[in-house]
A and B are shown apart, each in its own frame.
Chain A
Amino acid sequence: MSEASNPVSMIEISNLVKNYGSKFAVDDISFKVSTGEIVGFLGPNGAGKSTTMNILTGCLSSTSGEVKVGGIDILENPDEAKKLIGFLPEQPPLYVDMTVDEYLNFVYNIKSCRLNRAKHLEEIRKVTKIDDVKNRLIRNLSKGYRQRVGIAQALVGNPPVIIFDEPTVGLDPKQIIEIRNLIRSLGKTHTVILSTHILSEVQSVCDRIIIINDGKIIADEKTENITQVVDDNRRYLVKIAGPMREVTAALKAIPGVVTVDLTGEREMDSYVYSVEASKGVDVRKPIFYAMAEKNWAILGLQVAQMNLEDVFIRIMDKASR
């Protein structure tokens, strides 16, 4: 666990509840995030992601529960706690009648930062790649630029905790990659929480994933372990040159194989089969021998990686069951 190497919890949320009458937006959430961790907050629309983030940043109060940032309670000492946080809300909070530079200076002032102003702001403009528009009115900027100004705003004052609510919305693919790289590099020295419903984003950026649905945490795992949460049968994709029906029958005859399906992919007389084997059984060798016996050539064999989409949907299914 990273908590062993990094014992300091920058963010500590315990038993957080937020309800609007009988509707629970956040229902008893607890988690900790340690320094230098990048946590992805994943969930369908209306799951409570933004609500949690708004509570975390002091924009919204909780019904009950405790939120500590850097050991400081956000309700008891909001000003001190807020100094530690840079926040990019779902909609970047931009004053469109200001230029980028004026805006960043304003943010610098209200956060009452004590840094080398010119140098610090220039650094931020550089990493977010908005230096070339610094004298333009925010009103006239494209969505991608606005989003990046929003990100820049969150970095002002170099806060140790950075919270991004859907940071890559509205960016083009190249910008998305740049922003992901930026987030990854921020994660080395900062604590980052980002929410998204783009699963590949979480997979490529985050160390840890928290999946939230209906205001409850339904999974909280390291990114590389998340697929193991759904312990299901393994699937293999095998491309075999041979008569389709007979191959299917032969595959089904192998002990451990549960189902055999055609994926629909074919090339001349070879088909790609999706073979599902029961848990803990490696059927690759038996497939090879079975096919070799019949003189059918195996053109390809791979373990089907369960991607995050599958995991996500399965976890959601499990939770709703």
Chain B
Amino acid sequence: MSAIYKREMRAYFTTPTGYVFIAVFLAVSGFVFAVSTFQSQTSDVSGYFQLMIFGYIIIVPLLTMRSFAEERRTRTEQLLMSSPVSVTSIVLAKFFAAFTMFAGTVLLSCVYYLPLRKYGDTNVGKAFGCLIAMLLLGMCFVAVGIFVSTLTDSAVTASIGTMAILLVFVTAAIFNNLIDAYVIRQVLSWISVYSRYVNFTYGIFDVAATVYYFSITVIFLFLAIRVYERRRYA
């Protein structure tokens, strides 16, 4: 598993993928950060994080789209499949590699906080809560991306598919206000990763939400493993 993880990490930096991801991430987050704090004259970062959730819909697929689709297209999956490595560890290695990239870049973007802290009246606890929530949310998004990537041999299809699913996840709660039926509202707010996120912005560590995010991650990784094992039976 560690061999595959290392290879994935290497691949991010020997191909443009990793650099493009980091560059796009920092450009988008830098812009959003500047607009949501300095320009709106506030030191409250929860607005920034809330906006970034939408940014992730576009950025995360950049990381995950190739993971399995590319292996399938170039047939390198046959090397992995005929090696004494379980499908579970292949999926986990790829997930952890993508999540490492994501988490690393999120942590890198924390430097934005330094000037804000110097000139503004900041609430570190609250910002830290948001950061944790971001990492949890990103973890779910990466898992979704890995799953979609197992479904196709085209990286483009994988990225668009991931975006579609993430969009549903994020916007499900927004439709809530428009719908009268109680049951549907409940379902939508259950699906919504967005509504769970709110408590973190108050600096509260929401255990229920954490469990929810981990569950979503596990479910999608499990699905990815199933897809791969199923393909052998296809």
Contact in complex: B77, A93 (CB < 8 Å): yes
Contact in complex: A89, B75 (CB < 8 Å): yes
- Cβ of B186 under 8 Å from chain A: no
- Cβ of A115 under 8 Å from chain B: no
- A75-98 vs B: 1/0 string, CB under 8 Å? 000111011010101010111111
Classify chain A's interface size: 20 to 34
Contact in complex: A110, B75 (CB < 8 Å): no
- Cβ of B80 under 8 Å from chain A: yes
A89 to chain B, nearest CB (A): 4
Q: Which of B7-15, B40-48, B195-203 has 4 or more CB atoms under 8 Å from chain A?
A: B7-15
- A42-64 vs B: 1/0 string, CB under 8 Å? 00000000000010011111000
With A97-B15, A106-B7 as contacts: A112 and B84 at CB distance below 8 Å: yes
- Cβ of A13 under 8 Å from chain B: no
Residue in A80, A85, A96, A106 whose CB lies within 8 Å of B82: A85
Instruction: State the CA gap A58–B7 with chains docked (Å).
Output: 22
With A60-B232, A110-B80, A111-B83 as contacts: A95 and B75 at CB distance below 8 Å: no
- Cβ of A107 under 8 Å from chain B: yes
Task: Write out the residue numbers on chain A whose beta carbons fall within 8 Å of the beta carbon of B84.
Answer: 78-80, 82-83, 110-112
Contact in complex: B3, A109 (CB < 8 Å): yes
B167 to chain A, nearest CB (A): 31
With A61-B233, A79-B86, A106-B7 as contacts: A153 and B79 at CB distance below 8 Å: yes
B234 to chain A, nearest CB (A): 8
Contact in complex: B4, A95 (CB < 8 Å): no
The interface on chain B, measured as residues whose beta carbon lies within 8 A of the other chain's beta carbons, has a size of 25
Contact in complex: A82, B75 (CB < 8 Å): no
Instruction: State the CA gap A64–B141 with chains docked (Å).
Output: 38
Task: Write out the residue numbers on chain A whose beta carbons fall within 8 Å of the beta carbon of B215.
Answer: none
A305 to chain B, nearest CB (A): 38
- B74-103 vs A: 1/0 string, CB under 8 Å? 111111111111100000000000000000
Closest to A92 in B: B75
Instruction: State the CA gap A59–B234 with chains docked (Å).
Output: 11
Q: From residue 80 to 133 of chain A, which have CB atoms closer than 8 A to chain B?
A: 80, 82-83, 85, 87, 89, 91, 93-98, 102, 106-107, 109-112
Q: Which 4 A-B pairs have the closest CB atoms?
A: A109-B3, A93-B79, A57-B82, A79-B84
Sample of 23 A–B contacts (CB below 8 Å): A61-B232, A61-B233, A79-B84, A79-B86, A83-B84, A85-B82, A87-B78, A87-B82, A89-B75, A89-B78, A89-B82, A93-B74, A93-B77, A93-B79, A94-B76, A95-B11, A97-B14, A107-B79, A107-B83, A110-B80, A110-B85, A111-B83, A112-B84
Interface residues of B, Cβ cutoff 8 Å to A = 2-4, 6-7, 10-11, 14-15, 74-86, 232-234
